[in-house]
Amino acid sequence: MLNIQEEAMKLNKNNIIIGAILALIIALPLIYNISVLVAKGPEPFLEKPKGEKCIMDTEEIRYNHMILLKETRNQAMREGKKVDIGLKNCRGCHSNRKGFCDRCHDKVNLKPDCFSCHYYPNE
């Protein structure tokens, strides 16, 4: 009688150990994926620009780049001035429109018509 009980307990113990090992094997890929994600952090929203800093402070260019571009455009087109700032400048540091400009514009469903005339790669 005692023997059977001991055997049963041994079996139970073995089952628990096998169960724990199986659970670990199943969980391993998940643990691995999570640790990789944690190590990498979230993907940045905007592609990293070239260069140290923008032509304006980050905050300022973020909110005012459209005004700036339209202003220099007007100066060039209406007043015939020679301007230093145009889309080709932006292109020099933010080389991929899709990974930078379009990321924000898509979010606000904005499709500036500039790029039908001004070359700005988008891949």
Give residues in contact with ligand HEC (CB under 6 A). 46, 49, 51, 53-55, 58, 61-62, 65-66, 69-70, 72-73, 76-77, 83, 85-90, 92-94, 100-101, 104-105, 108, 110, 112-114, 116-118
What is the closest distance, in whole angstroms, from the C-beta atom of residue 41 to ligand HEC in the complex? 16
What is the closest distance, in whole angstroms, from the C-beta atom of residue 72 to ligand HEC in the complex? 4
Q: Name which of 21 and 77 has its Cβ closer to ligand HEC.
A: 77
Cα 16 to the center of its chain, rounded Å: 43
Q: Enter the tokens of residue 53.
A: 């800093």
Contact 106, 120 (CB under 8 A): no
Q: Name which of 19 and 92 has its Cβ closer to ligand HEC.
A: 92
Q: Name which of 5 and 109 has its Cβ closer to ligand HEC.
A: 109
CA gap 43, 62 in Å, rounded = 20
Chain residue whose CB lies nearest ligand HEC = 86
Contact 121, 95 (CB under 8 A): yes
Give whole-number Cα distances, 115 to 47, 72, 73, 91, 98, in Å: 19, 16, 14, 12, 12
